[in-house]
Structure 1
Amino acid sequence: MGPLPEKAADTTAERPWPVRLLSIKIADYVDKMSQLWVEGQVVQFTPRGGTAFLTLRDPDVDMSLSVSVPMNAVNAMSIPLTQGARVVLQAKPTFWTKRGSLQLEARQIRPVGIGDLLARVEMLKRTLAAEGVFDAERKRPIPFLPHRVGLITGRNSAAEKDVVENARRRWPAVRFEIREVAVQGSTAVAEVVAALAELDAQHGVDVIVIARGGGALEELLPFSNEAMIRAVAAARTPVISAIGHDVDQPLLDFVADWRASTPTDAGKKVVPDAAREIALVAGGRDRLRSAIERRIESEWRGLRSLVSRPVLADPIAHVRVRRDELEGLRERAAVRLEARLHRAADQVEHLRRQVIALSPQSTLDRGYAVVQHRDGRIVMDQEDVGVGELLRVRVARGDFGVRPVSDGTADAPLSSPGAARKPRTTQSKPAS
């Protein structure tokens, strides 16, 4: 089969490492690691003879490691080691080839003091504030009357009763979506964050209350956890923080959209007071009625004042004055129109007389006659008249026809040399 590959990169499907060799390689690699100091939260503590076995969990994420520590190191601690305690320990990573598991072999173990915890919370607070997580501009308003209230609280806790009873005392129809979770200990952060995500995803939940009663500083540390703070900041639903008493101020109070001093205060904030709202509506209705009555009375006084004026005491007086003015205007218009008509009649008569004086009939009345050819042309020149041609002669009263004849003297001159010769005519019956 040949020798096994020396390096992991040289292995192939045809030349793999057996499990025992991989375990030995991992153990050799881990054994080269130096001792280190690590911090975590004790979630399981089991003394067994001269060695204590415990599970050390990261307080921010769900990851843990097994640790073995000598009991004399545990007994040398300034305070007794209990489940949920925050500790730092000096350990050497080891890999157990038979079980294929990694664990820590601790040499020293120390509790994390309250001062250290407070310093870390304060440092986290400054970091989150610098990022704008606590800014007032990102906070959302609490709805006036939510359809449903999400409540995250401890199992069978007094905080749950305080929130629910005070809310229902103010608004009996309020509905709750309650999620009971661990509010202290190693699983508190994970359970609260999961419940928050579930309620935030529900369409009917308009506000979420995270409530817990009072407790020691270490018990309230989960509500200053960075993972929980960022989860609340990312939630779409407004969040009310009701942790501990008024003096307790975990970081959740700074990121929440509204901080309640106690769970009881949260129950009062989450819904309006029905009795107060009814009183406000009744008061508003009374003020509205009084305002309407005052307005009607004011308008009625104004109406009486208007009616009492002389112009309204005799309503047709104003009409009568306008009617007289209209009658006077009508009479003046009639007089002027009649005068215009008289002047126009005089002008027509004058023009009629001018037309009569200038008409051809007037000329005929003075003894003149008009001679026309049969086609109606006026005889203007005797040269245009032929002998025997029937002509029409129009006089003042009627007309008649004539024919010019020649009597042998047509070439004789008339009264003066160059005068036109007048043809002789014979009368005939009137022209038709």
Structure 2
Amino acid sequence: MAVNTSAEAPLPVGQVSRLIGGWIERLGAVWVEGQITQLSRRPGAGVVFLTLRDPSHDISVSVTCYRQVFDAVADVVTEGARVVVHAKPEWYAPRGQLSLRAAEIRPVGVGELLARLERLKKSLAAEGLFAAERKRPLPFLPQLVGLVCGRASAAERDVLENARHRWPAVRFEVRNVAVQGVHAVPQVVQAVRELDGHGEVDVIIVARGGGSVEDLLPFSDEELVRAVADCRTPVVSAIGHEPDQPLLDYVADLRASTPTDAAKKVVPDVGEEYERVRWLQGRARRCAEALVEREERGLAQALARPVMREPQRMVTERAEQIGALVDRGRRTLGHLLARADSELAHTRARVVALSPAATLRRGYAVLQQADGRVVRAASEVSPGEELRARVADGAFTVRVDGADEAAGREARAVPGERTADVE
């Protein structure tokens, strides 16, 4: 019910506390799940005091119950256990403190825990936190290794001893934290974030020497998984177990089966690397020697060729070939010229033989009329007509005197004045 108050008419603290108690008294009983962080069982006392914590939100609430209620589960419930409590809210007015009065306590079974982890695993996988492409490769030779482990634990000793045995110069930045119980998750998360922010840390190892499902619950906490997923530095999970895998194994960049295995995977063995370097040196030397030998054989084969033994031989052979070609060209040209000269002589002879001048030299003459036409028949001239007679050495004029009837009008030439044009 509402209460009317003002600055002039305020309520006393005690009355406000009583009002709150009255409101809470009207609330019914609820089922609450949480992790027991503190447990107080005083000898002879009839009441047991507990503190329940929500690891996901870091919220705690006080719980009280009668001794017989707790004794029913005392054999299986200890600090760090997850339980489900049926309780009714109570308000302690003198101190203004809220608590729960438990009427029943039930431990959360392993099967139910595994089912919840499986649901959380599927949810985180759907977000891509376990994707293979998010995994980062580890550095070949880390200069500074971050280690998150329990104080003076076997896991710490295994990692340090094996790593330094493999590579004595390796350095470690160790963060000792609680690896089980109610304080494990916040301490591990803080240590991982500190090492991730360290500028010289090259890789982070989260190690624990194994344990039961309940002991490994901190390494499946959602807050720790997301903190590792946000790291810029590669993270190695080395929880030291085989049957069960906490969610840290899926989000880490590399999973090691044990802390010793983590040291072997993170730090190279100096002896093995030295032998590998020697093997590579020998291989490089053999490759270089084989290359030199192959080139030497090729050079020797090249020098063994005749052209290399007698380099002038090629010039000599080419000179001889060129000389032969020149001689051949000269002979060919001479033959062509001789044949052309012979053909020219034959042609000239034929021309001379067929020339009219040659005919004239044999005593023949060519008669031409006044218009220059050649007389080819006696009927083409008339008596008294003057004709031009051409002989081998000149020409003269003749006149037709008469015709020989038996020869069919043969013309008689009468010598006239001789002309000066002579061929």
TM-score (ref. length: structure 1):
0.71
Residue-by-residue CA offset, 1:93-131 (whole Å, 9 max, x unaligned): 111111011111111111111122112112211221222
Gaps of 5+ in 2: 327-423
What are the within-5 Å matches in structure 2 for residues 134-149 of structure 1? 134-149=130-145
Partner of 1:33: 27
Partner of 1:266: 262
Residue-by-residue CA offset, 1:141-163 (whole Å, 9 max, x unaligned): 11111121110000000000111
What are the within-5 Å matches in structure 2 for residues 251-262 of structure 1? 251-262=247-258
Partner of 1:156: 152
Partner of 1:43: 37
- By how many angstroms is 1:16 displaced? 3.0
Gaps of 5+ in 1: 1-5, 331-432
Asked if residue 115 in structure 1 is aligned to residue 111 in structure 2, the reply is: yes
Partner of 1:67: 63
Residue-by-residue CA offset, 1:59-81 (whole Å, 9 max, x unaligned): 33322111100111112227343
What are the within-5 Å matches in structure 2 for residues 60-209 of structure 1? 60-77=56-73, 79-209=75-205
- By how many angstroms is 1:181 displaced? 0.2
Give the Cα–Cα distance (whole angstroms) in 1 for the partners of residues 6 and 169 of structure 2: 69
* Moved beyond 6 Å, runs of 4+: 322-330
Give the Cα–Cα distance (whole angstroms) in 2 for the partners of residues 299 and 256 of structure 1: 52
Partner of 1:422: none
Name which of 219, 222, 236 aligns with 1:223: 219
Give the Cα–Cα distance (whole angstroms) in 2 for the partners of residues 171 and 319 of structure 1: 69
- By how many angstroms is 1:212 displaced? 0.2
* Secondary structure, aligned partner of 1:235: coil
Asked if the contact 1:152–1:196 (Cα under 8 Å) also holds between the matched residues in 2, the reply is yes
Partner of 1:350: none
* Secondary structure, aligned partner of 1:316: helix
* Secondary structure, aligned partner of 1:279: helix
Give the Cα–Cα distance (whole angstroms) in 2 for the partners of residues 137 and 11 of structure 1: 61
Give the Cα–Cα distance (whole angstroms) in 2 for the partners of residues 172 and 302 of structure 1: 49
Asked if the contact 1:79–1:111 (Cα under 8 Å) also holds between the matched residues in 2, the reply is no
- By how many angstroms is 1:309 displaced? 1.3
Summarize the Cα distance change of 1:309–1:96 in structure 2 as closer, same or farther, 3 Å threshold.
Answer: same
Give the Cα–Cα distance (whole angstroms) in 2 for the partners of residues 246 and 77 of structure 1: 30
Partner of 1:291: 287
- By how many angstroms is 1:254 displaced? 1.0
TM-score (ref. length: structure 2):
0.72
Letter in 1 for 2:291: R
Asked if the contact 1:60–1:189 (Cα under 8 Å) also holds between the matched residues in 2, the reply is no
Partner of 1:19: 13
Tell me whether 73-82 or 253-262 shows the greater mean CA deviation.
Answer: 73-82
- By how many angstroms is 1:25 displaced? 2.4
- By how many angstroms is 1:90 displaced? 0.7
Identity %, equivalent residues: 55
